[in-house]
Structures are given as structure tokens and as C-alpha cells.
Amino acid sequence: MSRIMTVWLPRWPVQRRLLERPELRRRPVFVCRRERRGVMTVVAWAWATPPRREGASAPPSGRASLSRTSLSGIQPGMSLAEAMAALALSHGSRACHIAEVDQDDPAADMAALESLARSCRRFAPIVAIEKPPQHEHGGPECLQIDVTGTSCFFGGEGALVRTVVWTLAARGIHARAAIADTPAAAWAAAHHTDSLHATLTATVSQPRQHHGGLQKRHYRWAVVPPETHRQALADVPATALRLDTIVAAQLRDVGIETIGGIFRLPRKSLASRFAPQLSQRLAEFTGERPEPLVVPCSVELPTASQAFDFPLLLRDTTQDDLVAVIERLLQECVAPLAAQGKGVMSLQVRLERSQSAEPREACAPAVIDIGVFQPSCSAKHLVELVKLRLARMRLPREIEGIAVEVVSVGVAECRQRTLFGEAAEASASQVGMLMDRLSGRLGRGAVFEPRPVADAQPEHAWAAVPPAARGSSSRSRTTPAIKRSQQDRACENSPAARMTASVAAPQRRPIWLLPRPVRLETVSVVGSAMDQADGSSGPPVWFCIGAQRHEVVKAHGPERIETAWWRGPTVRRDYYVVETSTGSRYWIFRQRRGEWFLHGMFS
Amino acid sequence: MVTQVCNPVWDGVGSVGGLLLRQAVEWRQAQAEGQGWETVATGFPALDRLLPAGGVRRGSLIEWLADGGAPVGDGCGAVTLACAVACRLAISAAQALASQAATIVVVDRGQRFYPPAMIPWLDAQTDVAATRGRRPQLVVARPSRDDDEIWAIDQALRCPGVAAVLAWPERVHSTAMRRWQLASRASGAVGLLVRGLAGRQQAGAPTWADARVAVAPVAEGDSVSDFAVRRLRIARVGGPWSGNEMRNEMLSDMRNEMLSDMRNEMLGDMRNEMLGEMRNEMLGERSTELRLDLTNGRESTRRHRLSGGAGTPSMAGRFQDDRFPVEGAACRAS
């Protein structure tokens, strides 16, 4: 049986704002959503530290007030005007004046929850966020952690659940947590830890009962022992099954308030009497129907930007100042990726121009595109690449702001370091960094890895491939073209492949090939009359490169290379390897019309 | 020395602590010396005998002076030999430690390097079992400016995962050369620099390179072969930079200027004659001959055929010998 811990963060939208702006703790905070016709609806609200008032049922501590849903009768889904009226009724009109009203921002709430979920991976590897409840106000507020088999590392489930709550409390987050067999049961338990703790201590741990003074305390955690969640949670309200309001109202109409009450009904008739959601939730609660945990995988790529109060004048700014800002932004971008075990593959740095300074130019920002061959999560390395590019580009005269945007990411390779010196494995990543630096300065197309291609025309007998990261998995990443060439190599010895092999024999190919063939002006050919029929003749007796005359003493050829008509301009060349009287070797060819060209040197 | 001093300490410390201490001291020693680099045999015994360490020591610079018959210096085989040595270095690096990246970086200034001539060598020499299925990586960088080229060579030599850097810089200041030397000392990469005519003028002058090898082709003359074997004459010219030679730098610079002036003045036969003399001087009694098999980049093991080479079975060989008798052609030309 699995064990799931649900961590409930009550009123998460408000809590997130309180974390970001602690000064709001003294004021009531309303998070509102603008509905149709301009009506503001309260999504969540809280007053972390309301003033103590005599006679009023003010909560003893601010933290606890967060979880009290019916403090002043304000419910999520109320209009803001109603909520303000209720607040004025309970705390006086001054409370309304100091109230902070903020727009709902589900995306930011979700992002903050995801980062919290990532930090909760210290407790267990699988940390999920509950599916946002449909037809409800507000987004998800719960984390679901699969703690099956991990509680022993924290000294038992009770210790684990306490550790989680305290760890979050140390960060200023109010949380309630519970462990049970199924996600649904854990959810129900986490939302009713107060009542549950009383029953659990009464039934399970007898010795604690005599602490009568503790009854008033608000318990923030509960552990439902394995296989007992049906009995232990029998007294929990039926709404804890995450039912829609309609289904909950139906149940209330027939007088069923608790989960135990539902279980007392015959299961077979449930589906026909109530909405299908009820039986579905019940099955999830008992574990008959598995409920998958959805681990968040953020597809959002990090960005960071810095806008200057006044435009930076280029003449007053050194490059180091710019680099310092860019480095900080890069660190901001890289840190969340590194936490996910990812690294930057490509990123963009934009230097925003000031519109007033350069009115004539289109105010497009100066853009630096950086790409690496190996995912990198080292801000230092990326800054180096940016520096290389910065030094060689024309910067705008006035810079209004700098933005760094990660364009693509890849899985970074992590290696354990050795205590002394660099490990041999580290040199592979060093080569990757070298490629990045070289292509950063020389241009991305100027650094490549040559791969042989089966093609008769010498210029096309190889292809420039961007150098791949030499990881341990480099072999599995071979492209089909490479596989094909490997096969070619493998069958080189078979008689069928001898023809292709001899065409690409390395001894017939020069180590230097001119980018385009150079025409040889003065060539003396002997015996050209011998074979005029097919237009071919022997190699030249001598030829000139510049002013230097080369006497040919030995030749090999012709090797005729002819391309098909669909390849564009037809190439028909008779190649000769010639050795001159000094021993130098050249690769020359004769075209169909009898012109001679120098194409390569066996340098 | 440090080892002996520390020995009693190690005995006293527990096994793990002693191991770490030993590792730390060894690492410090290696760092301090920078000489802990192994020497790799090039596979050409003639070349190994020329080199000061009896092979190519990792972390060194080797200059190859292309000594072709033509003033252009092309087609003489120096680049080919340097490529063969680079292959050997990368493969031995891959075999030494299978996880270590053995990369050859070719800094190709004139966009002339033609990889299909070299890739088959890597494939032919790589012993799949010894390198555990890893092929040395070949990376080409094509700088378009002189300062980019110097920078690229420097960066490549600085990288610990690089086995060899192959480049043909035209003009190199001795400051850049010294930077390269220090970079390769630190990382263990071997710089193989092929220099053309400008470098040849400096033959005999001090250099920062650990060895300076002149390469000249051997004209096979009458003998007919299928061009699969390249015979090269190599000699060690100049030498490593010593303290006394520092002051000679200025003198040699002056001499080079004079030489280039002289060369510009001379024309035609006169120039050839002088270059021939220079070559003879360089490749005097010290020169040796090596035979490079162009099919796999190793020392040729074939017997040298003096005549009657059987043509290759391909179409290419069909016209070879009967249609073009060398002696006859020479007669007709004259």
C-alpha cells in the first residue's frame, strides 16, 4: 500500500503575496477576480495579524487565523462589496480603509507553488501538485508527496509530517499536512487535522489523552495509520471528498454530513441516486480507483531583465559594467534550470535601445544570440561567451535595459568531482566549452565536425556537422547518415563495395583542397592527338602555377568523376595525381573542353 | 624529494587519510613540474629518432617546415605527415584512458583542409577494442583573420581534452609562439604547426617550439608506384629555445629581412638555385627518410617497388602506366 502525504497551503494566493511583501501581514488582503460586468469576486482573503478586540472571537494567533474559513463570514466567491461589508461589521470601518485589494494572478500562484514543490523534493522524489478543482474559485492549494518507504529516513511518519510543517513554517508558510493511504484520504485528512487529531489521539495513542490543556491547540498534522482511513475519517465532513457544491447539497438534503454516513449507504445505489462524481470520489478515497499524481514539469523557460532608471550612455559605461549586469541576469536564469538538472542550450541577450537617442534608426534592440553545443548550467561559461560577442559588436549609444531570455534547454550532465585535480571525464566537457568559445568568436558555421558522405564529387564527399557533445550516450545519438557511413566502412572488404571504396581511397585525395579549382593557364600536353575520340588525353608534361614551372615526372589517372544531370551544373572531370620533378604532388583535372585546373595539393 | 620526506607521515596516518595525502602530494608535484607528460611514439622510427624525447611528448610544440621544391611550398607532404602524427596522438590518448576525450582540432586558415583524406586514417587506426568503441573526434575551425587564427590556436591548445592542434599559420610572432607553448605545457595538447616559406627562412634560428622538423619530398624519379606511399626526407633544423639564444633573436630577425629582400631581388633560376642550396644545407647529413603509407597514415610496410607496379584494379589504374611512360614524356618535352 502506498503512503501519500498531502500538504495543504490554505489560501495560497494570499500566502504567496504575504511571502513576497511581508508588510501586508498587518492589513487584510483580498485577492479578487474581475468577473462579468465589472463585479469583483473574492478568490481568497486573509488578515494575518488582526487587532485583538475585546468580546470578539478573535483568533489567538495570526497564523491560525489563516485557516479559519469563517472568520467574518466571508466566503470565496463573494463579491468584494459584500466582503468589505462583512469586514466592516466585524472589525470596524478602519479595516476596510487599510485593506489591500489585489488582482488574481493564477499563473504566478502556480509558478510559486511549483518552486515550492521542487524544494519539497528533499522529502521524497515524487512531489505532485493537486489537479485544480473544476468549477471552483481559486487554483490548487495542495502538494501531494509520495512518501512510500521514505518516512524511515526521517524517523517515522509522525516525525516526517512534523518536519515538513516546521520546515515550511520556518520559511513563513502556513501549512497543514497529513499522511494516508490514498491521495484522496490524505487530502481529506489534511483539511481536517484539528478534528482528526482529537480522534486519532483518542483511539490510537492513549497516553496523550491526559494532556487536557492541549485540546485547544490547533494541530497542523495528522497521520492516518495504514488500512484504517475508512474508520479514522468516518467523522470528517463529506465535503472533504472534494465534491462539487451540487453533490454536497444533495447529500445534505438527505441528511448525510460525514464520510462515514456515505459509506453506510448501499454502494450499488449510489451511482443511480447521486451524480457519478460521488462514486468516483469514493473509489478514489478507498483506493479502488487509482489517482495519478501529476508531477509538474514546467515548460516555461526562465527570463530575466533589468531596466535602468536612466538610459546608460555608452561613452560613460565600460564593458565590465554591462557584463556585471548580464552575469547577474544569467545567474537568475540558470539557477532554476540547474535545480531541475537542466542546462542552457541557447539564449538571447537583448540590449534595449533608447528611443529618444536614436530616432532615425528602427529601435530594434541589439541582440546577442548565444548557442552552446552542450547544455551548460555554468553562468561563468555563458558570460564568457557573451563577452566574446560584446567585444566584437557595435553597441547602441544609449541602453535602456538588458533582458536575458533562455531559448532552449537540455539535460545537463552531472558528474561527481574528484578531490584533487580535474578528473579525466571533465576534459570532455572542456572540449564542449572550447567549441562554444570558438564558435562564439569565429561564427557558428566556422566550427564543425567533418563527416564523410558517400559522394563522388570531391567537394561534396564530406559534410560539416555541428560538433556534438561527447557524452557517454554519444553513440546512441548517431544520425542515420553516420550510421550509413559506418556500414559502408564495415562492408569495405566485401567485393561488392570495392568499387566505392577505391573511389574514396585516401591516397588519391589531397590533404589540401582549394576552395574552388584554380585554372592553370599554361599547360603542355603531349599526345593529345592520340585519343581525340572520347576527348581525353594524358596528363600534362609540365604546367605553371604562377611563375613557377612544374615538370611532371609521374602521374596517376585519369580518375573520371562525372555527376548526374539532376545535380545542377554537370561536372565531368578527369583527375590526375601528378608528381613533379622535386617530388611535390598535386591534384589536377581536365575539364571536358580541355581546360586544366589545379584542385588540390598533397601538401 | 617530497615523497621521501613525507613517507613517515603517510605511515602514521590511517589508510584513507594517507591515500588522500599521497594523492594530493602527487598532484601537487605534477602541477609544479608540468613535465609529467608521457611521450608518445609516432609510429615512424625515423621521426622518433629526430625528436628530443624519442617521440612526441604531450604538451609540446612541433614545427614542421614545409620544404617543397616550389617556392609555394605546397605539395611537399609536411601537412600529410603532421596529420599522421596527430592521428597517432589522438588514438593513443583514446587508448590510454577510454573516458578521456581525444580531440584533434584543425585550425584551417585558408579553408583548404580536406577531411576525407584524413578521416579514413582515424578509422583505419582506431582499434575498437582498445578505445572501447570511441573514435577520436576531429574538429575543424576556420578563422578568417590572422588574429582570430592565433586566438583559436591558443584556445585549442589550452583545452585539456584536446590531443593535438594542427595549424598552418603564415606569420607568427614569437610572443604568440611563447603563449602557445605555455598553453600546451599546461594542458598536455600537442601543437603541430606547419610553416611554409616564411618559416623556412628561420630555419636554424631559435624557436619556442620543442622541435623543428624540415620535411621535403623525395622525388621518386623513374620508379613507378601507385602513389599509395609517400617518401619524405626529414631533418631536425633549429632547436628548442635556450637561454643563450634569446639575444640571437634580434640578429635572426635582421637576417630574415635581408633574406627576404634578397629573395625578392632574385629571379627565376637564380632563386631556385639559392633555395636548392638552402634545402641541401638543411637536409644535409642529418636527414633521414621515412615512408608514409597514404592509405592508413602509418609507416609503410610495403616493399619498395622499383619498377613494374601492377596497377590498381579500378578504372583509375587502367590508363596508368602504358599510356604515360615517364622517360618518353621527358624526351618529348625536351
Residue B330: what pLDDT?
A: 34
Give the separation between CA B29 and CA B304, rounded to whole angstroms.
Answer: 48
Is B186 part of the contact surface with chain A (CB cutoff 8 Å)?
no
Mean pLDDT value of segment A255-269: 87
Give the separation between CA A510 and CA B240, rounded to whole angstroms.
Answer: 31
* pLDDT 10s digits, B279-292: 555 555 567 888 88
Instruction: Record the cell numbers describing residue B235, joined without a space.
Output: 631533418
Residue A293: what pLDDT?
A: 86
Give the separation between CA B52 and CA A591, rounded to whole angstroms.
Answer: 48
Is B140 part of the contact surface with chain A (CB cutoff 8 Å)?
yes
Cα R_g (chain A), whole angstroms: 37
Chain B hits for A548, Cβ within 8 Å: 70-72
* pLDDT 10s digits, A22-50: 888 888 888 888 877 778 888 888 887 77
Helix axes of A193-203 and A183-191: crossing angle, nearest 10 degrees? 100
Q: At B75, is the pLDDT very low, low, confident or very high (cuts 50, 70, 90)?
A: confident
Give the separation between CA B161 and CA B155, rounded to whole angstroms.
Answer: 12
Nearest in space to B108 (alpha carbons), one of B164, B74, B153: B153
Smallest Cα distance from A572 to chain B, Å? 15
Label the pairing between strands B190-195 and B61-66. parallel
DSSP-assigned letter for residue B199? H
Chain A hits for B162, Cβ within 8 Å: 431, 434
Instruction: Record the cell numbers describing residue B152, joined without a space.
Output: 583559436
Give the separation between CA A552 and CA A526, rounded to whole angstroms.
Answer: 12
Q: At A495, is the pLDDT very low, low, confident or very high (cuts 50, 70, 90)?
A: very low
Domain ranges of chain B: 38-300
Indicate the range of A303-317, B76-90, B93-107 predicted with least confidence: B93-107
Cα R_g (chain B), whole angstroms: 23
Give the separation between CA B102 and CA A470, rounded to whole angstroms.
Answer: 10
Residue A503: what pLDDT?
A: 42
Residue A393: what pLDDT?
A: 82
Contact B117 A430 (CB under 8 A): no
- List the single residue in A426, A467, A503 with the smallest CB-CB distance to B139: A467
Nearest in space to A340 (alpha carbons), one of A114, A563, A557: A114
Give the separation between CA B294 and CA B90, rounded to whole angstroms.
Answer: 18
Contact (CB, 8 A) for B218 and B289: yes
Chain A hits for B140, Cβ within 8 Å: 447-450, 464
Contact A583 B105 (CB under 8 A): no
Higher pLDDT, B60 or B304: B60
* pLDDT 10s digits, A161-186: 999 999 999 988 989 999 999 999 99
User: What is the residue type of B234?
Assistant: I
Give the separation between CA A347 and CA A379, rounded to whole angstroms.
Answer: 12
Residue A421: what pLDDT?
A: 52
Q: At A594, is the pLDDT very low, low, confident or very high (cuts 50, 70, 90)?
A: confident
Q: At A372, is the pLDDT very low, low, confident or very high (cuts 50, 70, 90)?
A: confident
Chain A residue with minimum CA distance to B22 = A420
User: What is the residue type of B92?
Assistant: S
**Domain at B38-300: CATH code:** 3.40.50.300
Chain B hits for A493, Cβ within 8 Å: none
Handedness of CA A382, A385, A386, A387 (dihedral sign): positive
Distances (CA, A) of A455 to A368, A378, A472, A488: 37, 41, 30, 12
Instruction: Record the cell numbers describing residue B243, joined without a space.
Output: 637561454
Contact B160 A601 (CB under 8 A): no
Q: Which residue has the cell 528533499?
A: A122
Residue B224: what pLDDT?
A: 54
Higher pLDDT, B29 or B166: B166
Residue B316 pLDDT greater than 60, yes or no = no
Mean pLDDT over the full length of chain A = 78
Contact B113 A526 (CB under 8 A): no
Q: At B317, is the pLDDT very low, low, confident or very high (cuts 50, 70, 90)?
A: very low
Residue B211 pLDDT greater than 90, yes or no = no
Residue A141 pLDDT greater than 70, yes or no = yes
Give the separation between CA A428 and CA A434, rounded to whole angstroms.
Answer: 10
Chain B hits for A545, Cβ within 8 Å: 70, 72
Alpha helix segments (H runs only) across A413-568? 426-442, 480-490, 498-503
Residue A217: what pLDDT?
A: 55
DSSP-assigned letter for residue A237? B
- List the single residue in A514, A524, A557 with the smallest CB-CB distance to B316: A557
Residue A423: what pLDDT?
A: 53
Residue B83: what pLDDT?
A: 92
* pLDDT 10s digits, A289-311: 888 888 876 667 888 888 888 88
E strand or H helix at B235, and its extent?
A: strand B229-236
Mean pLDDT over the full length of chain B = 70
Residue A362 pLDDT greater than 80, yes or no = no
Indicate the range of A197-206, A225-234, A294-303 predicted with least confidence: A197-206
* pLDDT 10s digits, B230-251: 888 888 776 554 434 444 554 5
Residue B12: what pLDDT?
A: 45
Nearest in space to A511 (alpha carbons), one of A410, A569, A401, A586: A586
DSSP B52-83: TTSSEETT-EEEEEE--SSTT-TTSSHHHHHH
Contact A461 B116 (CB under 8 A): yes
> What is the pTM assigned to this prediction?
0.60
- Domains in chain A (CATH in brackets) are 4-9+106-286 (no CATH), 12-103 (no CATH), 303-415+425-441 (3.30.1490.100), 449-500 (no CATH), 510-601 (no CATH)
Is B69 part of the contact surface with chain A (CB cutoff 8 Å)?
yes
Smallest Cα distance from A433 to chain B, Å? 9
Is A546 part of the contact surface with chain B (CB cutoff 8 Å)?
yes
Residue A498: what pLDDT?
A: 34
Mean pLDDT value of segment A4-29: 89
DSSP A164-181: HHHHHHHTT---EEEEES
Mean pLDDT value of segment B265-272: 52
Mean pLDDT value of segment A504-530: 76
Mean pLDDT value of segment A49-61: 51
Is B137 part of the contact surface with chain A (CB cutoff 8 Å)?
yes
Is A455 part of the contact surface with chain B (CB cutoff 8 Å)?
no
Is B331 part of the contact surface with chain A (CB cutoff 8 Å)?
no
Dihedral of the alpha carbons of A175, A179, A180, A182, in degrees to the nearest 10: 70
Residue A492: what pLDDT?
A: 38
Residue A361 pLDDT greater than 70, yes or no = no
* pLDDT 10s digits, A376-404: 888 888 998 898 888 888 888 888 889 99
Residue B206 pLDDT greater than 70, yes or no = no
Contact (CB, 8 A) for A213 and A231: no
What pairs with residue A465 in β-bridges?
A: A449
* pLDDT 10s digits, A94-130: 888 888 888 888 888 888 888 888 888 888 888 898 8
Mean pLDDT value of segment A428-444: 84
DSSP-assigned letter for residue B268? H
DSSP-assigned letter for residue A149? T
Smallest Cα distance from A554 to chain B, Å? 6
Is B239 part of the contact surface with chain A (CB cutoff 8 Å)?
no
Q: What is the largest CA-CA distance in chain B?
A: 87
Q: With pLDDT > 90 as the criterion, what percentage of chain A qualifies? A: 8
Residue B173 pLDDT greater than 60, yes or no = yes
Is A579 part of the contact surface with chain B (CB cutoff 8 Å)?
yes
- List the single residue in B69, B296, B316 with the smallest CB-CB distance to A582: B69
Residue A452: what pLDDT?
A: 86
Give the separation between CA A88 and CA A97, rounded to whole angstroms.
Answer: 9
Residue A61 pLDDT greater than 50, yes or no = no
Label the pairing between strands A40-47 and A127-129. unpaired
Mean pLDDT value of segment A328-336: 90
Q: At B113, is the pLDDT very low, low, confident or very high (cuts 50, 70, 90)?
A: very high
Is B139 part of the contact surface with chain A (CB cutoff 8 Å)?
yes
B219-250 residues labelled b (16+ CB within 10 A) or e (exposed): bbeeebbbbbbbbbbbbbbbbbbeeebeeeee
Chain B residue with minimum CA distance to A531 = B323
Chain B residue with minimum CA distance to A423 = B100
Indicate the range of A236-240, A275-279, A522-526, B193-197 predicted with least confidence: A522-526
* Close Cβ partners of B155 (under 8 Å, ≥ 6 residues apart): A434, A437, A438
Smallest Cα distance from A421 to chain B, Å? 7
